[in-house]
Chain A
């Protein structure tokens, strides 16, 4: 793993990528705080050609449900119920995998390595030690009709 100082995409770049996925009306704003409750988050690791994790996305429950559902227009009510129950339905999770796959391009201009999506940790699997990582950029992403959630971009 690298210990050098990482750079992250800015708000405009993040918003542009998610606009491409979810259409007009989406807004991304910088969040001072990273995803806080790791026990209710999803983490996707992006690995280099040697299989070493270089970057990660940590998605809170709201972001995970909103983006997963919005990808194929699953009814917004499903998202509300899932967040209330602390869950991510199977079909939403399957879509979220594709969102996370595409999100490798969040790092394409700020990482000098070729990255691909590696392991995805589900709810309850994200280690608390991720909270100790200081190199991150976090964004509050508002998906029209589906609500807002926080995603943290993390470097190792």
Chain B
């Protein structure tokens, strides 16, 4: 499966991909995008099976990326990996169609718990 990691921080994209491997998902192909706008291009071209996105990004926030995808009829599983936390954020994300939120910092164990049911 292709997994798209969307984060404006190159360091964080690297850490997410490293953690995916540590969690045992090293057979997945990882793709990267540094913004919501770039993510839309990658999604159209590569058709990933899972999207992991930051919340706060310049140009297009993660939540706006998710809303755009759903408005366009794209139902690719989508989760947030973000420093944002709180019930209100979780509510907004769930209402928009997100499957989960993982709060930074995260662990390989957390990735495994959240992603195993999706990637099984």
Contacts and interface: CB of A to CB of B under 8 A. Distances in A.
B57 to A, nearest CB: 11
B83 interface: yes
A117 B58 CA distance: 13
Contacts of B88: 114
Given A20-B107, A116-B56, A105 B11 contact: no
A104 B105 CA distance: 11
B61 to A, nearest CB: 12
Contact of A102 (B10, B104, B107): B104
A110 interface: no
A83 interface: no
A130 interface: no
B83 A20 contact: no
B86 A101 contact: no
B9 interface: yes
A65 to B, nearest CB: 15
Interface in A58-108: 71-72, 94-95, 97-98, 101-102, 104-105, 108
Interface of A: 17, 20-21, 71-72, 94-95, 97-98, 101-102, 104-105, 108, 114, 116-117
26 contacts: A17-B105, A20-B104, A20-B105, A20-B106, A20-B107, A71-B11, A71-B15, A72-B14, A72-B15, A94-B9, A94-B11, A98-B9, A98-B11, A98-B12, A101-B9, A101-B104, A102-B83, A102-B105, A105-B83, A105-B85, A105-B103, A105-B104, A108-B85, A114-B88, A116-B84, A117-B83
